[in-house]
Structure 1
Amino acid sequence: MGNRASILLVYKPSGVTSFTSLGTIKRTVDPKVGHAGTLDKFAQGLMIALTGSMTKLNQVFSSMDKRYRATIVFGKETDTLDPEGEVIATAAVPTLEQIQDAIPLFIGDIQQSPPQYSALHIGGKRASKLAREGKVVVMEKRPVSVYSFEVVSFENDRLVADIHVSKGTYIRSLARDLALACNSRGYLVELVRTQIGPFLLKDAIPCADT
């Protein structure tokens, strides 16, 4: 089955890496399976696994826009901008009205600074590795697009939102920047990828070695 050409929709649970979540496919379908777009370890949701000749289309799938259900905690910021980091700053929690007033600032084509703790390479090294070594990491802003940002709920310090973005958009950075625009601090505590292009999470199969 090693040469089988397949497009597989995979559900990655929280707490495992994107690499680990493809373990079952590697053993049963193709040991050289690839995937179009990683998810952070704390995140969960849809991944697209490619085998055989379909791996040549990696860039096609990676370039598709994506939808997420994100939960943002306001009033605190962690160094990693996710629940796995250390709190580095605190501030007052904004009101829902303040948040809704700030959201339009991040709709459309925007310039975004990726998180220091990311897989992006700077000078041949991963930014996350440099950050963990205590080095100052300057992340240059990049153009991304946010097509929609819809508030689902807001309770205490937590905002749940459905967000539709272009490839390369960091929801962790979006959480940070939205909080700063509200004169607060924020980080992403939960993230679920619900769609990649036309592909939906509800059609994915659980394939994680947990």
Structure 2
Amino acid sequence: MVVLSTKSMSWLPCFTVLGLCCLLHVVYGQNIKVEYYSRATLQCDNDKLNLSSSNQADVVSKTWILPNGNQVDNTSKSDMVERNVPRWTLSENFANFNLTLNRVDDDDFGMYTCIVVFKNDKIKVVRRGLNVDGADFSKLLETYRKNAITGGIAAACLFAVFAASCVIWHCRYSSRREKDQNKEGLETGDPAMKTFDNAAVEMEETNHL
């Protein structure tokens, strides 16, 4: 019977963690950013691991861990996000074991972990993020940008037409007003000139008499 001292027992957690580190190989895959209500596929593989090309006979199990903590394997059933549309589906090819989110919404955002356990007790883990920093709005922003440019051009054209109309109206009104003023001046005349003309007419009539 082997009796472990208290001092040696204190080292057991360290050896356990060290052993797990030797058996566990964690790789962070590329995060994915998609639009709301679109489809996203997460691969349980990485260029450094090449899990899909490894000997599948040595694989004991494959499991996905969702952001909410639920575990998903090839025996799991998904809930429905809408009628006849499951929240997620697994690829039929066990070698790939890809997880597809059929209609991405806020509940699907977060980190996904794929765990592959081998017969030699080695564990390989692939972690992928889905919309970790929010959904993809690039197409929506591009649409808004194009609409803003179109609206700006239309507003500029409308302003140019309005400004041209104001200039034309001002020119026509100024010319007509000058003509009317000249005409009115000829018809009314200067009062002093009118008095002078009347005096001249009276003198002429007196001379005739």
TM-score band, normalised by shorter chain: under 0.3
| TM, length-normalised to structure 1 | 0.24
Higher helix share: 2
Higher strand share: 1
Return the index of the structure with the highest Cα Rg. Answer: 2
Which has the bigger relative contact order, CA under 8 A and spacing at least 6?
A: 1
